[in-house]
Amino acid sequence: MMSAVLLIVACSKPKSATTGWAYNNSEWGGFEVSEYDEQITGPGLVFIEGGSFTMGRVADDSRYQWNNVAHTVTVSSFYMDECEVSNIAYREYVYWMKRAFGEEYPERVRDIYPDTNAWRDKLAWREGFVDYYFQSPIYDQYPVVGVTWEQASKYCIWRTDRVNEKILIDKGIIVLDQTDLRGETAFQTDVYLAGQYRGESGKELANLDPSAGGEPRQVRREDGILLPYYRLPTEAEWEFAALGMIGNTYDERIVEHKTYPWAGQSVRSASKKYYGQFLANFKRSRGDAMGVAGNLNDGWDYTAPVKWYFPNDYGLYHMAGNVSEWCMDVYRKTPDPIGGEDQNPFRGNIYRTPTYVDEEIAINDTTGGIIYRNVDDDMNRRNYRQADNVNYLDGDYSSNIFDYSSQTTISTWTSVADDEDAGATDEESALSNPDSVTNMMYRRVAPNANEVSSLMGNKVRVVKGGSWNDRAYWMQAGTRRYYDQDRSTSWIGFRCAMDRLGSRAVK
């Protein structure tokens, strides 16, 4: 009898608990509910179960920079690349871009090519790396370097499109046709979701909407088929993942505050089998990059293969040493401003929205991508009032103690954005006329309209983790540095991350 009941339940169609109407039934309006309840893991990614942790330095700040005072934050579960993006992975990207844009828009290929000259040093011989490091198959599994933050971000977008394209191809929803690849017609996730995809469709989904007249439809976000975007990790995500606290807790008790991705305060292995061996690729001291012939310490003078040393407890390789890595955040000396967010902290939000022309989303004729614009300023909102929030609480109007529009000193300037009655008029004036605020931090234009450069501007990004060219100090997860987003070097690489949707633990 119990088996019969279970069979009836299994065969019955789902229905709304709110209205009682049947789901996925055109006779009842055709409201569709997907069967997907868990996010699949994208290629190359590892699941990082989130939680709260002490972000910042847990050891002495020997350089007295005081740019990452310890503070507690919560990081949501997410995904991160198992290892650094390799030369072969980036070469696949360059190859695809050559096929798509090389003939008509060769500058787009040049813009993404790594700067192999980044290996050069005025007093060192490294021409072998200049000529062969990115191109030789010997270095296929070594981390790509000479890539700017901007190039790394573009790689993430391209990777998103190729992964989602394959998902749809595997399901027969679109047709794989690479014989005449052109960039403007190539699959792009956001273009497809906007209904502007120009490629050939395959087995499209049935449209249960009675008013659709039986016409099929494309995949939508509501179907749960496509993955979220690959992106660079935030600083908080990177540091959380590097520490790998999942292997260092017992019943919510942290056994030991880690300094490195491994337990203990030493950079050498305490295992009997590997006793004394270095756990990462770094420079022990000036002139000692890999040890003495016959008994090399870490074994590598420059970069090492991306899966060479032991992974941390999350299964991530080289979260210390080998190459430093780009993070998504804009750098500030104080990562935890007063009033800052303690859940998934991030500095760098610039909110954008698609551009519409004649009620249709505008597409760039050159790239085939959607044309985005910054969202309009909305002074009626409570959570934000403008698109660009990079300087919020550190360099913007509300973080200054002077009202420069009236040249009047304000003794205590608390968050104007959170008080509709106090000072809102002054802030609205400053936002509508930024030139009236003359001495804001991180501004690129002086009052006389001459361009000025600043070591710390909004084009400077956070870099985490030590590299082959660094001492052990920089391998501590709490240390942080910065680098211009449009510049590259031989000691910075990157890895990708992805949001985790839904449950924060894997079922």
Residue 261 CA to residue 244 CA, distance in Å, equals 6
Residue in the block written with tokens 């798509």:
100
Q: Are 499 and 160 in contact (CB under 8 A)?
A: no
- H/E run at residue 231: strand 230-231
Q: Does 426 fall in a domain?
A: no
Q: Does 479 fall in a domain?
A: no
Between CA 334 and CA 346, with CA 340 as vertex, the angle to 5 degrees is 75
Query: For residue 267, what are the CA distances in angstroms to 144, 286, 320, 321, 411?
Result: 24, 17, 10, 11, 49
Please count the structural domains in the chain. 1
Q: Does 127 fall in a domain?
A: yes
Strand partners, 51: 75
Q: Minimal CA–CA distance to 502: which of 284, 224, 207? A: 224
The pLDDT of residue 455: 58
The number of angstroms, rounded, from the C-alpha of 38 to the middle of its chain's C-alpha atoms is: 21
Residue in the block written with tokens 């030139």:
435
Q: Are 328 and 236 in contact (CB under 8 A)?
A: no
Query: What global pTM score does this model have?
Result: 0.87
Residue in the block written with tokens 């990079």:
390
Structure token pair of residue 83: 């290892």
Structure token pair of residue 112: 């993404």
Q: Does 300 fall in a domain?
A: no
Q: Are 98 and 83 in contact (CB under 8 A)?
A: no
The pLDDT of residue 81: 98
The pLDDT of residue 440: 57
Q: Does 439 fall in a domain?
A: no
Residue 310 CA to residue 319 CA, distance in Å, equals 10
Q: Does 170 fall in a domain?
A: yes
492-493 and 324-330 strand pairing: parallel
Q: Which residues contact 5 (CB under 8 A, 6 or more apart)?
A: none
Residue 35 CA to residue 37 CA, distance in Å, equals 6
End-to-end CA distance of the chain, in Å?
Answer: 30
- Burial of residue 245, with CB atoms counted within 10 A of its CB: 0-12 exposed, 13-18 middle, 19 or more buried: buried
Per-residue pLDDT of the chain (507 residues), as tens digits, is: 444 444 444 446 789 999 999 999 988 999 999 888 889 999 999 999 999 998 987 666 666 667 778 889 999 999 999 999 999 999 999 999 999 998 889 999 999 999 999 999 999 999 999 999 999 999 999 999 999 999 999 999 999 999 999 999 999 999 887 777 888 888 999 999 998 888 888 888 888 999 888 888 889 999 999 999 999 999 999 999 999 988 777 777 777 778 888 887 888 877 777 777 888 888 888 888 777 787 777 788 899 999 999 999 999 999 999 999 999 999 998 878 777 889 999 999 999 999 998 888 999 888 889 999 999 777 788 888 889 999 888 877 777 665 544 444 333 323 333 333 333 344 444 444 444 444 456 654 444 445 544 557 889 999 999 999 998 888 898 999 999 999 999 999 999 999 999 988 876
Query: For residue 336, what are the CA distances in angstroms to 10, 149, 236, 392, 494?
Result: 51, 22, 11, 12, 24
Instruction: Give just the sign of the alpha carbon dihedral 336, 341, 344, 346.
Output: negative
Q: Does 218 fall in a domain?
A: yes
Q: Are 402 and 384 in contact (CB under 8 A)?
A: no
Domain extent, residue 125, equals 87-226
Q: Minimal CA–CA distance to 348: which of 387, 382, 376? A: 387
Residue 74 CA to residue 466 CA, distance in Å, equals 24
Q: Does 347 fall in a domain?
A: no
The pLDDT of residue 147: 98
